Structure 1
């Protein structure tokens, strides 16, 4: 039994595991995202995030420690250059793990691991969202805080109404995450999606990350046109002939 053993050895010797994590960390720093198994991604997160924290303070000591883990001059240069500038204001949580399902062959869980500050599509989508701050649970509520917050929020909502877009997830092949990516790119309605070309949509997905490479947007404009015209019966008939948003042929 593995009582109290929190380290996943990944079926490798100590030297092999250390070399593998070092190479994966260098690839992540240089390419900003890599695809690997979920188990390796979780171990890599614990390996690389302390190095990212050290990169915030560019000293000779920190560079030597980082090189001791990475053993690659180019990745150390990128770490203390481009990467450190991006993560300077982030207090932690520099990486993101996105599950991609199971791969064929050994059915291992596959995940995409990326540096949070280098996903431009998600950063653009979250730019208008309010920043959440932690508040202490100690002490009571400040006098008048609850009474004043509600009128201010109500007044703000009246002054700046937010236009609601269409639910793009109704299009076969578009899930909630892809809908958020399209909304971040300015495609918020069926009409805008219908007027877009599949090549333009493909470029938006490519910029959003490698996890969207398997999606084919060729039928999305045609589906969106039917939805924009309110032809839901025809849309349902078309979607019954599709497989994951693609032509069945």
Structure 2
């Protein structure tokens, strides 16, 4: 099969994993408004999902594929990068005379970080398709799709669903319409087909860079959890008994364990 045909197959595979992010918004079509304990718990669930994805899904996976020092360096770079963007957005009014509301700043950070995070997932898909695997699940023309590639495609798609939920929570909480939230969730997954194609073409070099990119994405997610999701949960629970800390803690544990179960299973 010509290279163009192979790249088209890999692109479609990456696109499918990216589109799966939109499925995370589905629960919000079942309710008109989310307030009180449920809102606090949802902030916790989102924080737990991202914390599990960062620690188990990215840091440990990156350390498995390469040296821990490279992963740690990428992690620190990711934290520093998102902190810099956060400060830039906080000072936006000083530069332009226009104020960015806290909700809008959070939306920009959440969508931006999770869009950035989706690129290494796309790279993982591309590497799986390019990796030599003697077990061929099926063929498309002359192109053999390995069982490793199929497994990675299914795994990333399933993992993207709770990540879509993590994107949806702050957007829905800010009052954004459900279909717009779906659009932003899908948008955050669009780098995956790009990363998949790039990784398929440059497999050897990208495999060496994977530990750093995993660490970078993990650092970005960790900053998001500590600086945005958990404080937002605390703020949403101020009027609840005990400040809503129990609901936030339970939600965080549920999100972490749920995502950990998926990562372990897949």
TM-score of the superposed pair, with normalisation by structure 1: 0.21
Which has the higher Rg, Structure 1 or Structure 2? 1
TM-score of the superposed pair, with normalisation by structure 2: 0.20
Greater relative CO (CA pairs within 8 A, separation 6+)? 2
